[in-house]
Amino acid sequence: MRTLTEKRIRKARAASDAVPEALAEADRAEGAEIGRLEGDEPVARDTVSPRPTRDAVRHAQAHESATKHVTGRARYIDDLPAPHDTLHAMEGLSEVAHGRVTRLDLDAVRAMPGVVDVITAQHIPGHRDIGPVFPGDPMFADAEVSYVGQPLFAVAATSYPEARRAVKAAVIE
């Protein structure tokens, strides 16, 4: 006596065994090419139409960068070389949900190697509120902190690790 679960498992296995055969048959019928990288090993099968068709509802369409993503050839922002003399910024963030800033000592931050500049709320002239809909969202917290992670200051340094180390040197009370 077979249970309903066993029947479903057998049915799913039978269907999954038929999928490779159906794909191979479809490849032969459409004359699809096998994509290759540097070696002789096939990487992927091109199962999508390389050019748009009028009937996009029933047929898969190739995204312009899909092959690059699948094969690992896509370039991301961290893969690109930084231009010469690029500065890296890092924000010093609040670690409390609500409170008053009684002391913000950034002398140690300014003395860190690689630090070019340190910016606080006092360095921003004019209107400091960046709330898109409701007022009360300052670019940098000045005297009062409203949430964990609220920016208190920013550091510009010659490298990302130097900026990160500099932010950690701040004394915030």
**pLDDT winner (highest mean) among 67-71, 116-120, 140-144:** 116-120
pLDDT score of 126 more than 50: yes
* C-alpha to C-alpha distance for 27 and 166, rounded to whole angstroms: 57
Q: Could you read off the pLDDT of 92-117 as tens digits, one per residue?
A: 999 999 999 999 999 999 999 999 99
Q: Is residue 155 within 8 Å of 168, Cβ to Cβ?
A: no
* C-alpha to C-alpha distance for 168 and 108, rounded to whole angstroms: 10
Contacts (Cβ under 8 Å, ≥6 apart) of 13? none
CATH superfamily of 88-172: Aldehyde oxidase/xanthine dehydrogenase, a/b hammerhead (3.90.1170.50)
Quick one: average pLDDT of 68-78? Answer: 85
Does residue 41 or residue 73 have the better pLDDT? 73
Q: Could you read off the pLDDT of 8-34 as tens digits, one per residue?
A: 777 766 665 555 565 556 555 555 454
Q: Domain coordinates of the chain in residue numbers?
A: 4-78, 88-172
Closest to 90 (Cα-Cα) out of 139, 138, 161: 161
> What distances in angstroms separate CA 55 from CA 25, 30, 46, 64, 119, one per listed residue?
22, 17, 18, 18, 55
* C-alpha to C-alpha distance for 157 and 165, rounded to whole angstroms: 10
Report pLDDT for 25.
Answer: 62
Q: Is residue 155 within 8 Å of 115, Cβ to Cβ?
A: yes
